[in-house]
Amino acid sequence: MSQTEREVRVRFAPSPTGPLHIGGVRTALYNYLFARQHGGDMILRIEDTDSTRFVPGAEDYINEALAWLGIGIDEGVRKGGKYGPYKQSERRDIYREHVKMLLDNDKAYIAFDTPAELEAKRAEIPNFQYDASTRMSMRNSLTLPKEEVDRLIADGEKYVVRFKVEPGRDVEVNDLLRGKVTINSSILDDKVLYKSADDLPTYHLANIVDDHLMEITHVIRGEEWLPSAPLHVLLYEAFGWSDTAPSFVHLPLLLKPDGKGKLSKRDGDRLGFPVFPLEWHPEGGEVSSGYRESGYLPEAVVNFLALLGWNPGDDSEIMSMDQLIEKFDLAHCSRSGARFDYEKGRWFNHEYLQQLPDDQLAQLFKPVLRDNGIDPDNFSDDYIARACGLVKGRIYFVRDLWDQAKFFFKEPDSYNPKDIKKRWSEDTPRIMGELIETLRGIDDFSCASAEPIVLDWIASKGYHLGNVMNAFRLAVVGECKGPHMFDITELLGKDETIRRINLAVERINA
| Averaged pLDDT, groups of 10, the chain, 510 residues long | 76 94 97 97 93 87 97 95 95 97 98 96 95 97 98 97 97 95 96 94 95 98 94 98 97 94 92 95 87 96 97 94 97 94 96 97 97 98 98 97 97 96 96 98 97 98 97 97 97 98 93
Q: What is the pLDDT of residue 456?
A: 98
| Backbone torsion region of residue 76, taken as left when φ is above 0, otherwise alpha when ψ lies between -120 and 50, otherwise beta | left
Distance CA 384, CA 365 (A): 8
* Per-residue confidence (pLDDT) for residue 309, from 0 to 100: 94
In terms of C-beta distances under 8 Å and separation of at least 24 residues, what long-range contacts does 287-291 make, across chains too?
Answer: 288/19, 290/19, 291/22
Q: Which class for 459: exposed (0-12), middle (13-18), buried (19 or more C-beta within 10 A)?
A: exposed
- Side-chain-side CA neighbours of residue 488 (13 Å): 27
Q: Cα dihedral sign for 62, 212, 37, 172? A: positive
Q: Which residues are catalytically annotated? A: 265
The HSE-up count of residue 85 (CA atoms within 13 Å, CB side) is: 13
| CA 67 to chain CA centroid, nearest Å | 12
Q: What is the pLDDT of residue 3?
A: 53
The two most distant CA atoms of the chain are separated, in Å, by: 112
Give residue 336's identity as a one-letter amino acid code: S
CA separation for the pair 16, 80 (Å, rounded):
18
Q: How far is CA 264 from the centre of its chain?
A: 13
Q: Tell me the β-bridge partners of 492.
A: none
Q: What is residue 410's predicted lDDT score, i.e. its pLDDT?
A: 97
How many residues would you count in the chain?
510
CA distance 428 to 185: 86
- Residues 34 and 10 sit within 8 Å (Cβ to Cβ): yes
CA distance 190 to 110: 11
| Start-end of H helices in 356-427 | 358-371, 381-391, 400-405, 417-423
Please check whether residue 499 is in contact with residue 476, taking contact to mean a CB–CB distance below 8 angstroms. Answer: no
In DSSP terms, 75 is beta-bridged to 43
